Amino acid sequence: MFKFILRTDNSISPLFIRLALGAVMFAHGAQKVLGWYGGPGFEKTIQIFSQMHFPFWMTLLLMFIEFFGSLGLIFGLFTRPSALGIAASMSVCAYMNHIKNGFFMNWFGQQKGEGFEYHILVVGISLALIFKGGGLISIDRLFSKKR
């Protein structure tokens, strides 16, 4: 099982995919965990999610996935589990908060909230990484080569 998780090839495509997704998700995770990029930070994030009736452990898991999962993608370390966690968290987010707003993002401020088109992209990108692995210039690749 561990061998499958790290298995990848020398493809360059996953490198670009994981760097793009990792950079975007890092910003989201850093907002929640560190308060960077205008985000609420750790304590305020816990408070906000508890008001939405999220269990404490689930909020911690979300913060862990977005912050450390994004770093995993950037460095290509545990690419598959990182992508799976991000896909799951974004699916839950879309279901709980965005489906009611329709498909499209709120580009022009003409709807009550954001739609779920962004979430579909994140889940699709994550699935590509789950199937393909980290590819070229990944820590996963270093471990794959040794086996």
61-99 pLDDT per residue, tens: 999 999 999 999 999 999 999 999 999 999 999 999 899
Give me 27's structure tokens.
């910003």
Question: Long-range contacts made by residues 122-125, C-beta under 8 angstroms, separation at least 24?
Answer: 122/21, 122/24, 122/25, 122/86, 122/87, 122/90, 123/87, 123/90, 123/91, 125/17, 125/20, 125/21, 125/83
Sole residue written with tokens 């954001």? 114
pTM over 0.95: no
State the pLDDT confidence band at 3, using cuts at 50, 70 and 90: confident
